[in-house]
Structure 1
Amino acid sequence: MPTLEQMLACVRVCQTLSNFYTDIHLFRYDEKREEIYILAGETIGITILRNGRWEFDDDTEA
């Protein structure tokens, strides 16, 4: 079950994506890692941690 901090952060992130007319393609809560993952637009990946902090996925290859 997501934490309250995760749920509030999720609403803020989804609202921001919506404000920029960005499609949300995937929304998933991983019970083992206890993280929420959102895939939006063409290349936006966001992970929301248990404490409500969120971060962009860094998929750049070196």
Structure 2
Amino acid sequence: MPTVEQMFACIRVCQTLSNFYTEIHLFRYDGKREEIYILAGETLGITIFSNGRWEFDDDTET
């Protein structure tokens, strides 16, 4: 079950994506890792941690 902090962060992130008309393709809660993962737009990945902090995935290849 997501934490309260995670749920509020998720709402903020999803609202921001929506404000920029970015499609959300995948929304997943991983109970084992206790993380929420959102895949949006073409290549935008966001992980929301149990403490409510979030970060963009760094999938850049050199």
Which of the five TM-score ranges fits, normalised by the shorter chain?
A: over 0.9
Identity %: 85
Are 1:3 and 2:37 counterparts? no
Runs of 4+ in 1 over 2 A off after TM superposition: none
Aligned to 1:42: 42
Give the TM-score normalised by structure 2: 0.98
Cα-Cα RMSD: 0.5
Give the TM-score normalised by structure 1: 0.98
Q: Which runs of 5+ in 2 are unaligned?
A: none
Q: Which runs of 5+ in 1 are unaligned?
A: none
What is the distance in 1 between the residues matched to 2:50 and 2:32?
Answer: 12
What is the distance in 1 between the residues matched to 2:13 and 2:4?
Answer: 14
Are 1:13 and 2:4 counterparts? no
Count of residue pairs brought into register by the alignment: 62
